[in-house]
Structure 1
């Protein structure tokens, strides 16, 4: 499986083709769906481009994307930097249960963040699948010790910038015994090497402007569809 990560936390000025508004995200979703993508990860924004977890903005973005790519799994973030208070974050996520056509199919929860278990439970209660983000070995050990929360669809092994395939393999050594599907990916300079490793190992992976602005040869990508086409 190749997931397209369309925008992430990047500012609009990071790339001229970075999708921020619901219409832009919908257009990119349609473009990558034409290339065979069936799984999306995106960060909804408000009217001024700031990341949000509030239900109305999440629903508007998801509904636009779903209309443009109706057969695609739509995932969003629950990152703590958007709403640092863990209780408020879980409360907002729990409210997604009533979003109807604007309710995401899955959402990522970062295991190293305060309140991650409460957020995962809020997603489960809202009928939304969980993707567990594991940024480093310490988080992998936390997950191993705590156990996989109910409702988890996959574990995201997320190799950070400046790291590479050795760190990817170290994460996999800790995560594979947990028995859940793993999506392995990198970010910035680790994006392409880790993607190629994932392909070699037969693991799910992802690509998009959230993870890299560059093609594998270091030239600027024209947009999400360009990156997906190169990774396919």
Structure 2
């Protein structure tokens, strides 16, 4: 799987093409889907541009993106301020405005509560692991492990999560984004790329937008595919 991470916690000041509104996220989702992306990860915003999990904003964002790319997996992050379990609880009746999957950080003290809240509204759980931790007693219902790694930590983190037998998405950020992507592609793990992870192409030049980053990622994947 190639996932596109469209915006993350970045601000408009960091890149002029960063998609923040539902309409811009839908446009970028359509562009990357045309390049072979089957999953998009995004951080919905409220009217003042702050990250949110509130039902109305989630519903508008997800429904707008889903209309542009029907059938693609749409995921959101729970790593935002507020009473997240209560906000997630408001997603139950959203229908087309409910995400397919949501990421929960293992380092978050409330990660078990958030996981349970997502299960109650029938949203899949993507557990984010960035450091070595005790994973022997994970609850049932974790759908995927996302490993956020550096080029130095990737091997050790994978050695910990691979025995769990769950799908693994491996990615890095900023200076580590492309080295970790290349490593993950060679191992044939799920991968992701987009403006959340880096603003630059592999050659160090600034990317125009998410589509240009994903096009580079597709070429990288093909180059690393087994013959």
Structure 1 gap segments, 5+ residues each: none
The TM-score normalised by the length of structure 2 is 0.94
Give, in angstroms, the shift of residue 10 of structure 1: 0.3
Give, in angstroms, the shift of residue 150 of structure 1: 2.9
CA distance in 1, matches of 2:136, 2:19: 38
Give, in angstroms, the shift of residue 124 of structure 1: 0.9
Structure 2 gap segments, 5+ residues each: 219-227
Please state if 1:115 is matched with 2:110. Answer: yes
CA distance in 2, matches of 1:92, 1:150: 22
Divergent runs of 4+, >6 A? none
CA distance in 1, matches of 2:75, 2:121: 14
2:2 maps to 2
Residues 45-85 of structure 1: CA deviation (Å, up to 9, x unaligned): 00111100111101100000000000210000100x422xx
Please state if 1:191 is matched with 2:181. Answer: no
**Structure number having the greater helix percentage:** 1
96, 100, 110: which is aligned to 2:95? 100
Give, in angstroms, the shift of residue 12 of structure 1: 1.2
The TM-score normalised by the length of structure 1 is 0.92
2:202 maps to 216
3-state SS, counterpart of residue 12 of structure 1: coil
Contact 1:12 1:49 in 2 (8 A): no
CA distance in 2, matches of 1:146, 1:187: 28
Alignment of 1:163-174 (within 5 A): 163-164=150-151, 166-174=152-160
113, 118, 127: which is aligned to 2:122? 127
Aligned length: 218
2:222 maps to none
Residues 7-38 of structure 1: CA deviation (Å, up to 9, x unaligned): 00001111010000000000000100111111
2:36 maps to 36
2:221 maps to none
Please state if 1:146 is matched with 2:137. Answer: yes
